[in-house]
Structure 1
Amino acid sequence: MKLLTLVTLCTASLLILSGCSVKPTPKKDSTIDASLPTVVLTRNGTIADMNSIALEWEPIDDKRVEGVYIYKVELDKKNSGTDEYYDTVISRFSTHYLDTKIEPGTRYGYYFKTYSASAESKKSQMTTITSLAPMESVSWIHGAQNMPKSAKIIWRPHINEKVKAYVLQRRTLQESEWGDIATVNGRLNAEYIDKNLKDNFTYKYRVRALTYDGMLSKPSQEVTVVTKELPVEVTQISASTNLPKMIKVNWQSVEAKDFLLYRVYRSHSIDSGYEMVADTTKNSYVDTIDEDGKEYFYRVSVFDKDKLESVNKNYSALGRTLVKPISPSLSEARFADGRVKLSWTNSDPRAKSYIVQKEYKKGFFETKIEDFENLTSLEFSDSNVVAGGTYYYKIFSVDSNGIKSKPSAEALIKIEEGAAVKKTAPVKTERRLQQSVPAPATEVVDEPAVNVIVPIKDFN
């Protein structure tokens, strides 16, 4: 066991020492000794592969010889020299050399010199060797057309069992150089799907087989693939501006065999900030909005069954919900003949009725608000007031859709203490908004009211 360990250590030491030694190289002013033997290749002394060339020569018995200088010339290169030193074999006992820096289908010339401690032999005869041509690629390849954002390439597996993988190469019509895009492992694998491609774009593909020793075959035939075109975009789109609490968006239908749906986008700005609000198969969409006079920009795109989306940034439509009616113009507000009298002018032909809002304080912390609706005249009188009271009045117009305008200018009526006030019975109403405890009862007198007053709930 000790002997085996010693032999192993000695062998490792020799390998380390030999690996660290510097190979001798030919000297420019070296002495030529014609008596030194020259290298003679054996009868079958050259074997060529695609990426390597093996050389074998007859044994050298001359003890003066320390090794062999190897010269290599690429004969297919222009101005190839005849004295290109390449490598050194540092033992006269070696009779083989393997050159692995070989290009397929290339002619090389080799010649040799033996060397001693003080001289070199004459040149040996040059031997010309041509490396094997590259292996042929796959015999059949096909590219599937009209796929969404992708291309499918299939081929027939290579018959050479040395093949371990396939290298996929691609270029566009705008490119002249091929680029590697993927390596598909396994000789029997015969498919690749190229993803994330441009729409309606042309690509070219080819395949090269890769062997276990790292050799690439010739390129296969080229195939051309055109990816699927995007759906046709919507070019005619409109949006309503006169509907209450909604915007209706309409667009022209598109004809597509693989149509899936329309997608509606909405934004506050015409140029950016669009968010998806609906998917529909119809060519219209109603956007319900609980706000008057609200504006949005709309865009519509088309999706096909492969989920490709059309361009949608070229055409937009501005829509708006119906604006509020114009507020009435308050023309008179006064206390006379024991009652408050209001009058106003109509500022909007859309107005169908009016609401008078009355606000007054009953105590330090107690405020009461009454809304009186369905007033069709342009006048209103209120006898349900008390001396020393302060009252605030606002007028709203209401259109046929029930949309209430913003309030008119506010009228402040302050009744002096001791003022004569006509007492009338409160009018029975359908609804009344009240933000305090019920008002105290008032004295009932036999006098009809000036107007029929009908309170309703606050539209806001």
Structure 2
Amino acid sequence: MGFCKILKICYIYFSLIGLIALQGCGILTGDIAKRKFDNTLPFPEEIRTINDVTSIGLEWKMPENLEEIGGYVIYENTTKKNENSANSKIIAIIKNPFATHYYIQKLKPQTNYSYQIASLGRNNTISIKSPPINIKTSYIDPVENIFASKDLPKQIKIFWSPHNNPSIKRYIIERKTQEGKFLKVGIVPHRLYVEFFDKDLEDGKVYSYRVISESYENAKSLPSAIVTGSTRKKPLGVQNLQASTNLVKSILITWNLPENPNVPIKNFKIFTSRTLNGKFSFLAQTKENFYKVLNLKDGEIRYYKVISVDADGIESEMNIGAIQGNALPPPPTPKILSATIINNQAVLKWEIEDDTRNIINFKVCRSENNKNQICFDNIMQQEFIDKEMRPNIKYQYDVRSVDEYNLESLPTPIQSLGF
């Protein structure tokens, strides 16, 4: 058997022994503390490093006098907060003198680390440590070509170029808060899936975003460039809102259509309240620029606000002020001029002081001892004679005016007559 083949078999043997020893590192750490320092024992030199995002590779030159070497110890130097001196801990024990490589994983990206290597003597000794090996882990490049939409309804679309690193597992999307911090708002689960919709946002508002890539080893990339997107502005509100005051038992609300809307207006929403400063509740929805409120009481007052709604359901601001409308009030109540008994007959005379309404007739209502009311309609004169009075009965009379819309005024004060 040749020397090279023997050397190869020995290398495999010692590699297996070294792997077993490495797995039992925690058990062997106590053995290291019992060893004596040997200043003459050579330690690894010409140490080179290769840095990755979450791992570091170490390579060293095999020491001379290999017959004195039984393996190697790798230390990690740590410096605690508020301390200037470094502490060392053993992270690997390699029981193989032929070993010249080792890698350390599960590190943090863009972080400084320091290591040293010592040799193990075959006679229960240990060398001094090598000079510190200082290294910084690498990083994953940020994604490129990131954009954000400017005019989507209640949402912003963020999209970017796929990362060229195949180790990327997913993307993390962050949004900037009012306090200036970036917080996660979503995750995109694949390297080639390169868009995200941030939804349920306020109308007409600007938001800032950045994207962070994450590898299968859970290492995060540098943040992307910050981009700003904005949601669609609210549509313009209606103009020249008016409400009628002269319709019978109804109010007609009208308004002008918004001029040159960026998005077509789909419909309008009408809100109403009984008082100007009261709570406005939803009344109706229409596609026209008018709406008629029906079945009101004579003279009933209502306050209205109208908002426009675009094709995507974005609503305009609700105006602070409101428009007042009212149904046509009752006609003016007659004024009694006289109420007398003449020849055992009741004679009532009246007049209309307010001539702004077209009064077409009058109505007189009579009760007997406040009971059994009957009314006499279509009285054309401003006078009424009751020829059917009986003695020893108290009669009560009131007069009402009736206009062209057949609206009836409030009754006059009661006039009591009898003989």
Q: Normalising by the residue count of structure 2, what TM-score does the alignment of the two structures yield?
A: 0.77
CA shift at 1:400, angstroms? 2.0
Distance change >3 Å, CA 227–CA 241, structure 1 → 2:
same
Q: 2:170 aligns with which of 161, 165, 173?
A: 165
Distance change >3 Å, CA 138–CA 163, structure 1 → 2:
same
Match of 1:355 in 2: 363
Distance change >3 Å, CA 272–CA 408, structure 1 → 2:
closer
Unpaired runs of 5+ in structure 1? 1-16, 416-460
Match of 1:296 in 2: 302
CA shift at 1:39, angstroms? 4.6
What amino acid does structure 2 have at the position aligned with 1:293? Answer: G
2:137 is the counterpart of 1:131: yes
Q: 1:262 aligns with which of 268, 292, 295?
A: 268
Alpha-carbon distance between aligned partners in 2 of 1:253 and 1:321, rounded to the nearest angstrom? 24
What amino acid does structure 1 have at the position aligned with 2:312? Answer: D
Match of 1:282 in 2: 288
Match of 1:48 in 2: 51
Alpha-carbon distance between aligned partners in 2 of 1:166 and 1:144, rounded to the nearest angstrom? 18
2:417 is the counterpart of 1:413: yes
2:141 is the counterpart of 1:146: no
Distance change >3 Å, CA 153–CA 179, structure 1 → 2:
same
Match of 2:228 in 1: 224
1:267-305 CA distances to partner (integer Å, 9 max, x unpaired)?
123234112222233333222242012111111111111
SS of residue paired to 2:213: strand
**Equivalent residues in 2 for 1:52-451 (5 A)?**
52-55=55-58, 68=73, 70-72=75-77, 83-89=85-91, 93=95, 98=104, 100-104=106-110, 106-112=111-117, 122-132=128-138, 134-171=139-176, 176-255=180-259, 256-257=261-262, 258-349=264-355, 350=357, 351-360=359-368, 367-415=371-419
Match of 1:419 in 2: none
Match of 2:10 in 1: none
Q: Contact 1:247–1:289 (CA<8 Å) still a contact in 2?
A: no
CA shift at 1:382, angstroms? 1.3
Distance change >3 Å, CA 35–CA 222, structure 1 → 2:
closer
CA shift at 1:115, angstroms? 9.5
Alpha-carbon distance between aligned partners in 2 of 1:246 and 1:265, rounded to the nearest angstrom? 16
What amino acid does structure 2 have at the position aligned with 1:338? Answer: N
CA shift at 1:357, angstroms? 0.6
Distance change >3 Å, CA 84–CA 69, structure 1 → 2:
farther
What amino acid does structure 2 have at the position aligned with 1:352? Answer: I
Alpha-carbon distance between aligned partners in 2 of 1:54 and 1:405, rounded to the nearest angstrom? 101
Q: Contact 1:396–1:408 (CA<8 Å) still a contact in 2?
A: yes
Q: Contact 1:266–1:296 (CA<8 Å) still a contact in 2?
A: yes
Alpha-carbon distance between aligned partners in 1 of 2:183 and 2:104, rounded to the nearest angstrom? 32
1:374-415 CA distances to partner (integer Å, 9 max, x unpaired)?
212221111123333332211111222221111111122334
Q: Contact 1:267–1:275 (CA<8 Å) still a contact in 2?
A: yes
What amino acid does structure 2 have at the position aligned with 1:336? Answer: I
1:358-380 CA distances to partner (integer Å, 9 max, x unpaired)?
12269xxxx53221112122211
Alpha-carbon distance between aligned partners in 1 of 2:369 and 2:42, rounded to the nearest angstrom? 128
Distance change >3 Å, CA 112–CA 203, structure 1 → 2:
same
SS of residue paired to 1:208: strand
CA shift at 1:18, angstroms? 9.6
Alpha-carbon distance between aligned partners in 1 of 2:28 and 2:120, rounded to the nearest angstrom? 16
Alpha-carbon distance between aligned partners in 1 of 2:134 and 2:296, rounded to the nearest angstrom? 91
CA shift at 1:52, angstroms? 2.4
Match of 2:21 in 1: none
Match of 1:443 in 2: none
Distance change >3 Å, CA 290–CA 213, structure 1 → 2:
same
Alpha-carbon distance between aligned partners in 1 of 2:41 and 2:103, rounded to the nearest angstrom? 18
Paired residues, what number? 381
Alpha-carbon distance between aligned partners in 2 of 1:61 and 1:110, rounded to the nearest angstrom? 25
Alpha-carbon distance between aligned partners in 2 of 1:127 and 1:312, rounded to the nearest angstrom? 68
Match of 2:11 in 1: none
Alpha-carbon distance between aligned partners in 1 of 2:47 and 2:130, rounded to the nearest angstrom? 17
Alpha-carbon distance between aligned partners in 1 of 2:372 and 2:204, rounded to the nearest angstrom? 69
Q: Contact 2:239–2:258 (CA<8 Å) still a contact in 1?
A: no
CA shift at 1:91, angstroms? 5.5
Q: Contact 1:265–1:300 (CA<8 Å) still a contact in 2?
A: yes
Alpha-carbon distance between aligned partners in 2 of 1:91 and 1:109, rounded to the nearest angstrom? 17
Alpha-carbon distance between aligned partners in 2 of 1:344 and 1:152, rounded to the nearest angstrom? 76
Alpha-carbon distance between aligned partners in 1 of 2:42 and 2:401, rounded to the nearest angstrom? 119
Q: Normalising by the residue count of structure 1, what TM-score does the alignment of the two structures yield?
A: 0.70
1:139-161 CA distances to partner (integer Å, 9 max, x unpaired)?
43332321112111223333433
CA shift at 1:114, angstroms? 7.2
Alpha-carbon distance between aligned partners in 2 of 1:80 and 1:38, rounded to the nearest angstrom? 31
Higher strand share: 2
- State the identity as a percent: 27
CA shift at 1:111, angstroms? 1.9
Unpaired runs of 5+ in structure 2? 1-23
Distance change >3 Å, CA 18–CA 343, structure 1 → 2:
farther
SS of residue paired to 1:352: strand
